[in-house]
Structure 1
């Protein structure tokens, strides 16, 4: 039986099969699937897995090559070292790594992100050279390319850390804000209006109305409690929350901290100060008012700004109260345990 089966299998293997004939009528309902030809990839970097990233790199390198050739044709490259140092620095805010990842729709490693930033910085350097040289057409075309990779809030980002200019109202008053610890102070400063005693007296009908109230003889001085007549006032009148300085701050150190900008600037008695302060204690409130006064004096008299800046009165004191720690009475103070 096994021998006969082997002989049949050998005959089947050695048999040459002929092509079967299929009638055309039986092929009417048969659907023939034809393979569509593959499309040519849109990007030559299609098979790299990160086509968008390498396309951007190639585009930036091509822009660098054309810009460099244009500058060399205009004999603007290479530049001497002293000329290169005189070019104003660039003010650009590139997209973050996450922002570029979302724009390219592909994961971006740190090395590739740095490579993109290097190309952008070099292209921005060429733009600044063209802008200084007066080649506006080339500079504008390069700026359009760089604008794609900049943040939308570029102006707001560059404005951070810069002090806003102090504005004056129609009466010549300046409004500034000072902060220290948990305290915040709003300060208004106005120059003292000096009256000339020898001026001829005008009639009541012809005399113009003053927009601001005149100083009364009972205004309290900045450092003392006794009222002084206007001719003997020797320091600026400071009202804090509609209270005189000597009454609002009973400690001499707090009062001295408030009037320190006036003494350093040499403007004691030249300005009236009105402040509204909230939050914190006396130390924080006096420091906040001092910062507001220093900003106001720098706005009224720009010549004293270097003195105030050198005395570190134009920046906020960053020191804050240290938080309480677990197991401690305060930040570092320990409990006293009595042995029994």
Structure 2
């Protein structure tokens, strides 16, 4: 019986978590952090490094690529939330989807890259909902329907 009770003690010790997970800084040889962001059909690859705050998307300044002010605001939300304006240079390449999905994908990738560069920012970005991938995608078209759910027009005669 003494042997079984010692096994029970070992099982409870292993099951109890020691503390919260520890996140470490992930930086490549050039001092950049990399992350992939996704939204709808768009996929963004984002690199950040310390700098003057220059943001480029597909080789263009982000204000030229995303002409609408709403999309520019969406892109800058994570940086503003963690109060790091003008401290990081962001280089992003994005493909697929439309402009709205691409802006959301860059925002998601930028948020993840910020957590890789500074793990202490994770709680602020998590509370803001920037680290959660928005899983809403376009519903597929079904047979016998005009679109995903819309039926063909009914004709009595």
Matched, 1:182 2:41: yes
Cα deviation, residue 338, structure 1: 8.6
- Equivalent pairs counted in the alignment come to 151
Separation in 1, partners of 2:47, 2:99? 20
Backbone CA RMSD of aligned residues: 2.9
Cα deviation, residue 70, structure 1: 6.4
Cα deviation, residue 165, structure 1: 6.5
Q: Which residue of 1 aligns with 2:6?
A: 76
SS in 2 for 1:76: helix
Cα deviation, residue 335, structure 1: 5.1
Separation in 1, partners of 2:7, 2:129? 44
Cα deviation, residue 253, structure 1: 2.2
SS in 1 for 2:91: strand
Would you say the 8 A contact 2:74–2:103 is kept in 1? yes
Structure 1 moving runs of 4+ over 6 Å: 337-340
Separation in 2, partners of 1:256, 1:266? 14
Structure number with greater CO (CA < 8 Å, separation at least 6) is 2
Cα deviation, residue 316, structure 1: 1.4
Q: Which residue of 2 aligns with 1:312?
A: 129
SS in 1 for 2:133: coil
Cα deviation, residue 339, structure 1: 9.0
Which residue among 10, 14, 22 is the counterpart of 1:88? 14
Matched, 1:299 2:113: no
Q: Deviations over 1:282-322 (max 9, x none)?
A: 12211111111101111222221101011121121111111
Q: Deviations over 1:248-300 (max 9, x none)?
A: 11222222211111111111111010001111111221111111110111122
Would you say the 8 A contact 1:238–1:245 is kept in 2? yes
Would you say the 8 A contact 1:298–1:305 is kept in 2? yes
Would you say the 8 A contact 1:166–1:296 is kept in 2? no
Q: Which residue of 2 aligns with 1:325?
A: 142
Name the CA shift for 1:165/1:336 in 2 (closer, same or farther; >3 Å).
farther
Separation in 2, partners of 1:324, 1:165? 43
Name the CA shift for 1:339/1:245 in 2 (closer, same or farther; >3 Å).
farther
Q: Which residue of 1 aligns with 2:95?
A: 278
Larger gyration radius, structure 1 or structure 2: 1
Would you say the 8 A contact 1:295–1:314 is kept in 2? yes
Give the structure with the larger strand fraction.
2
Q: Deviations over 1:62-86 (max 9, x none)?
A: xxxxxxx5615xx62665xxx965x
Under a length normalisation based on structure 1, what TM-score does the superposition of the two structures give? 0.39
Q: Which residue of 1 aligns with 2:85?
A: 268
Separation in 1, partners of 2:26, 2:152? 51
**Structure 2: gaps (5+ residues):** 17-22
Under a length normalisation based on structure 2, what TM-score does the superposition of the two structures give? 0.80
